Amino acid sequence: MLKAATFGVLAFSFSGVLAFPGAHSSHGHGPDVIYRDVAVIGGGSAGTYAAVRLNDINVSVVVIEKDVVLGGHADTYVDKTTGTKLNMGVADFHKISVVLSYAARLGVPMSSPGAYDYSTLYYDFDTGKTVPSFVPPTDAEVGAAFATYANILATNYSYLQAGYFLPDPVPAELLEPFGDFVNKYGIGAIMQLINQIVQNDGDIWTMPTVQLLKAVDLSLVQSALQGFLVVASGNTQDLYTSAASVLGQDVLYSSQAIKMDRHGRDGVTLTVQTANGIQAIPAKRLVVAIPPTLDVLSAFDLTDKERSTFSKFQSRGYYASVVQHSGIDPTEFYTNIGTNTPFHLQNLPGIFTIQPTGLEHQYAIYAGTLSPVSNASAQDVIVSQIETLQNAGVFPADTPEFLYFSNHCPFRFGVLRGFVRIARDE
């Protein structure tokens, strides 16, 4: 499942006057024009948080959300028979003040997650076999490695907590492959756990160290050691239902920006396709809380430098599903590992884990690909590896049936090591 950190956003800022010509109020709302102080594109975790905070300090805001609800990666599966709700997207939150105060503002109680009484079995899902050379690290080994890792972050790279604000020159260590960094400090015991936490950051041993240090920052390490937070009801969507009631008509659902003009002296003007037609939205500021891929940003009037920067981003594929299968042991937590890969991390494309849900014959299965693929292709990956495990005798054969499937693409953005230095030099 996904880990929700704090609520960072990418913001384009504009200088200019503080009022729009002819606008009687920053809350003006005509049939074809909506005037706002801030327009937020994207109603996932970051966009919703930004909108609620702006609303609370009396800044007029509008959220442009392509879906019919707020929430982004916060997906919920509801069992048709029992009505049981399972978080299949974002489930765990960092135990930090910003999360606690935000949840309190929305009136949504938070609690510690319940204990899982499962044993973990490790198989290479590509072969269906165990890996004799793999020995799971002990809790003591993981704890010691995490302590070393946290000390490195706190001592050398505390500035990463605030974002990708890199010094000049960029420390060479941040640009080296993360696998080299891990080996240098002798903290390989944390690699399996980090791989589960960041699902899916690709072949993480090859990624720039800065990307992993940012993904697994100090607040996440502290939460991993002390315990994460979850919505007490068990349904992460409660946060967004409450936020939707706070924002009311300031959310445009089933909507998408189709044109943008950032050249006016008064800020930005968006042309938005809504469920009810075309809407113009002049705003003094713009918050962008959507994936920064060129296709997603196609409506933006990007400069050549912006287009060059965003073209360097890569994304992964991440897929959450609930599969019905009568042969899988409901007391076991199956983890995919690699036979010949560094740190025995699983190969991609492939399943990360097969987890019991507490529902009869229903299992949560999370899978990843190195780049986004179609739903059908992702499901083929899952079915193929289940069949491999069946053929190897890991559990009895059955035909897997997808009761739920969610495609979280594009997912986990990053750049190659060389581009980190190039972007900083620019």
Same domain, 17 and 58: yes
The yes-or-no verdict on residue 29 having pLDDT over 60 is no
pLDDT value, residue 419: 59
Domain at 66, CATH number? 3.50.50.60
pLDDT at position 199: 79
Strand-strand pairing, 277-288 and 36-41: parallel
* 287/241 same-domain check: yes
Task: Please indicate, yes or no, whether residues 145 and 212 belong to a single structural domain of this protein.
Answer: yes
Mean per-residue pLDDT, 9-21: 34
Q: What domain range is 143 assigned to?
A: 139-225
Q: Which residue in this structure is represented by tokens 């327009």? A: 39
Q: What is the pLDDT of residues 32-62, one digit of tens each?
A: 899 999 999 999 999 999 999 999 999 999 9
| pLDDT reported for residue 68 | 96
The reported pLDDT for the residue numbered 413 is 74
> The CATH number of the domain where 148 resides is what?
1.10.405.20
- Quick check: is 133 in a domain? no
Mean residue pLDDT of the chain comes to 88
Rounded Cα gap, residues 86 and 23, in angstroms: 46
| 292 preceded by a cis bond (ω within 30 of 0) | no
Residue 325 in domain: no
Say how many residues make up the chain.
Answer: 426
> In the structure encoding, which two tokens stand for residue 116, read together?
């899982």
pLDDT exceeds cutoff 60 at 168:
yes
Provide the 3-class DSSP secondary structure of residue 414.
Answer: strand
The pLDDT of residue 19 is above 70: no
Does residue 60 belong to any structural domain of this protein?
yes
268-317 pLDDT, tens digit per residue, is 999 999 999 999 999 999 999 998 888 888 888 899 998 988 888 888 89
345 confidence band (pLDDT: 50, 70, 90):
very high
Mean pLDDT over 389-415 rounds to: 92
Tell me if 33 is assigned to some domain: yes
Same domain, 250 and 286: yes
Decide if 127 is inside a domain: no
Query: What is d(CA 273, CA 267) in angstroms, rounded to the nearest whole number?
Result: 20
Q: Among the three residues 225, 251, 266, which one is the final residue of a domain in this structure?
A: 225
Check whether 142 has a pLDDT greater than 70: yes
23, 291 contact by CB (below 8 A): no
- 309 CB burial (10 A radius; 0-12, 13-18, 19+): middle
- Phi, psi (degrees; rounded to nearest 5) at 360: -60, 125
Whether residues 170 and 195 fall in one domain: yes
Shared domain check, 297 and 221: no
Predicted confidence band at 421 (pLDDT cuts at 50, 70, 90)?
low
Q: Are 325 and 365 in contact (CB under 8 A)?
A: no
Select from 278, 295, 311 the last residue of a domain.
Answer: 311
Report the C-alpha gap between 130 and 415 in whole angstroms.
Answer: 33
Label residue 1 by pLDDT band (50, 70, 90): low
Give the residue ranges of DSSP H helices in 248-286: none
State the Cα–Cα distance between residues 393 and 408, nearest whole angstrom. 31
pLDDT of residue 166: 87
3-state DSSP assignment of residue 90 = strand
Average pLDDT score over residue span 151-159: 94
Phi, psi torsion values for 210, nearest 5 degrees? -60, -35
Same domain, 214 and 251: no
Query: Is residue 12 over pLDDT 90?
Result: no
pLDDT tens digits for range 60-78: 999 999 999 999 999 899 9
The predicted-structure confidence for 198-236, as pLDDT tens digits, reads as follows: 876 678 898 889 989 988 988 888 887 788 999 999 899
Are both 247 and 307 inside the same structural domain? yes
Q: Is residue 205 helix, strand or coil?
A: helix
> Any idea which residue has 């929700």 for tokens?
4
Q: Is residue 318 part of a domain?
A: no
What is the separation, in whole angstroms, between the first and last Cα of the chain? 36
Q: Which of 311, 336, 362 is the last residue of a domain?
A: 311
Q: Number of structural domains, the chain?
A: 2
269 and 205, same domain (yes or no): no
Asked if residue 76 lies in contact with residue 237, where contact means CB atoms within 8 angstroms, the answer is: yes
pLDDT per residue as tens digits for the range 85-98? 999 988 899 888 99
Which of 13-17, 187-191, 298-302 is the least confident region?
13-17
Residue 365 lies in a domain: no
Contact 128, 388 (CB under 8 A): yes
Instruction: Indicate if the pLDDT at residue 8 is higher than 50.
Output: no
pLDDT of residue 164: 80
Alpha carbons 213 and 174: distance in angstroms, whole number = 8
17 and 65 in a single domain? The answer is yes
364 in a domain, yes or no? no
